C-alpha cells in the first residue's frame, strides 16, 4: 500500500495535539489540597492566661493554596496565618492566641478558615481545654428572685483563691444604687477565704427585671478582677 507523502506530517501534528491535550488536562486538574490537624487541646491553664497555639498545615496539591479569610468564633482568640499563599509541597501555620481571662471550666472554641481547596473550602479548627480559676466566688451568681418594692435581700459570698497564702481582697465595686457590697472581711468559716456581704435594697428601685454586676478586686496578678452577677425582679407590693 502506498502511503501519502503527507503522512509523516500528519503523524507529527497528531503527536503534538496529543501532548497538548495531556498538558491541558494536567493543568485543568491541578488543584491545591490542604493537609492540617484541625484540633488543639491546650490542657489546663490558669484563668487570665494567654495560650499560644499553632496549627501546622501543608499544601499537598499541585497548585498554590490560598489561606483566608479567617474568622475566630469569639473576640477571645486572635488568629494569623504565616503565609497567605502556600506553594505546592510547602508548609505554613495558622497561629492563634486564646485569652482565658473571661472563662472558667471546660472551654471549646472554633476558628473558621476559608481556602481555595475545592474539596475543603471551609476548614474548622477547634481549640479546647480547661481554665482553672485562680479566684473563685461562691456563689458567682446571686439570684434574689422576686423582691417586693421596699424590701431588702442580703447574702454573703465566699471569695477563695486557688493558692490562699497571702491572698487579699483589695476592693469591691458596685454599679447600681440599689446594690451595696462589703466591706470584705476574712472568713471565719473557710480557711484562707474572704467574705463579702451583699445587700439589694429595692426602696428606690423601679419595678422590673434587674441584672447587674459587682466587681471584686484582688491581689492576684493573673486574676485581679472577679465578677459577681446579681439578678432578679422587683415587683409591686
pLDDT tens digits for 94-117? 999 999 987 888 999 999 999 999
**Per residue in 175-203, pLDDT tens?**
999 999 989 999 998 989 999 999 999 99
Give the pLDDT confidence score for residue 223 in this predicted structure: 78
Cβ atoms of residues 114 and 70 within 8 Å:
yes
Closest CA to 32 of 112, 120, 124: 120
Give the burial string for 136-155 (b: 16+ CB within 10 Å, else e): bbeeeebebeebeeeeebee
Q: Residue 115: helix, strand or coil by DSSP? A: strand
Whole-number Å distance between alpha carbons of 172 and 178? 15
CA distances from 202 to 98, 183, 198 (A): 40, 20, 13
pLDDT of residue 48: 80
Please calculate the CA angle 223-105-97 and round it to the nearest 5 degrees.
Answer: 65
Q: Where are the alpha helices (DSSP H) in the chain?
A: 7-28
Give the percent of the chain with pLDDT over 90.
71
User: 0.85 cut: is pTM over it?
Assistant: no
What's CA 143's distance to the chain center, in Å?
28
Share the mean pLDDT of the chain. Answer: 89
User: Does residue 85 have a cis bond before it (omega within 30 degrees)?
Assistant: no
Q: What is the C-alpha separation between 186 and 188, in angstroms, rounded?
A: 7
Domains of the chain: 34-132 (2.60.40.10), 135-235 (2.60.40.10)
- Which three cell numbers mark 177? 444604687
Residue 16 has pLDDT above 70, yes or no: no
Assess whether pLDDT exceeds 50 at residue 26.
Answer: no
| CA distance readout (Å), 167 to 186, 192, 193, 227 | 10, 7, 8, 17
Which of 8-12, 126-130, 149-153, 179-183 has the weakest average pLDDT?
A: 8-12
Whether the Cβ atoms of residue 134 and residue 161 lie closer than 8 Å to each other: yes
Alpha carbon distance 88, 126 (integer Å): 25
pLDDT digits (tens, 9 = 90+) for 34-85: 999 999 999 999 888 899 999 999 999 999 999 999 999 999 999 999 999 9
Amino acid at each position: 500500500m502506498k502511503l501519502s507523502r503527507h503522512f509523516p506530517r500528519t503523524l507529527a501534528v497528531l503527536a503534538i495535539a496529543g501532548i497538548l491535550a495531556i498538558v491541558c488536562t494536567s493543568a485543568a486538574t491541578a488543584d491545591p489540597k490542604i493537609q492540617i490537624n484541625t484540633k488543639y487541646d491546650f490542657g489546663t491553664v490558669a484563668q487570665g492566661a494567654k495560650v499560644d497555639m499553632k496549627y501546622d498545615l501543608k499544601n499537598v496539591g499541585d497548585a498554590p493554596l490560598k489561606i483566608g479569610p479567617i474568622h475566630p468564633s469569639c473576640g477571645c482568640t486572635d488568629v494569623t496565618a504565616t503565609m497567605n499563599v502556600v506553594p505546592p509541597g510547602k508548609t505554613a501555620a495558622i497561629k492563634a492566641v486564646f485569652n482565658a481571662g473571661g472563662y472558667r471550666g471546660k472551654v471549646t472554641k472554633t476558628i473558621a478558615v476559608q481556602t481555595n481547596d475545592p474539596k475543603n473550602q471551609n476548614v474548622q479548627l477547634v481549640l479546647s481545654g480547661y481554665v482553672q480559676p485562680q479566684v473563685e466566688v461562691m456563689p458567682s451568681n446571686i439570684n434574689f428572685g422576686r423582691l417586693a418594692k421596699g424590701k431588702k435581700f442580703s447574702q454573703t459570698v465566699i471569695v477563695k483563691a486557688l493558692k490562699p497564702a497571702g491572698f487579699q481582697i483589695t476592693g469591691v465595686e458596685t454599679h447600681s444604687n440599689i446594690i451595696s457590697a462589703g466591706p470584705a472581711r476574712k472568713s471565719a468559716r473557710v480557711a484562707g477565704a474572704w467574705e463579702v456581704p451583699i445587700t439589694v435594697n429595692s426602696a428606690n428601685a423601679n419595678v422590673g427585671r434587674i441584672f447587674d454586676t459587682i466587681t471584686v478586686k484582688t491581689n492576684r496578678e493573673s486574676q485581679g478582677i472577679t465578677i459577681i452577677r446579681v439578678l432578679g425582679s422587683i415587683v409591686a407590693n
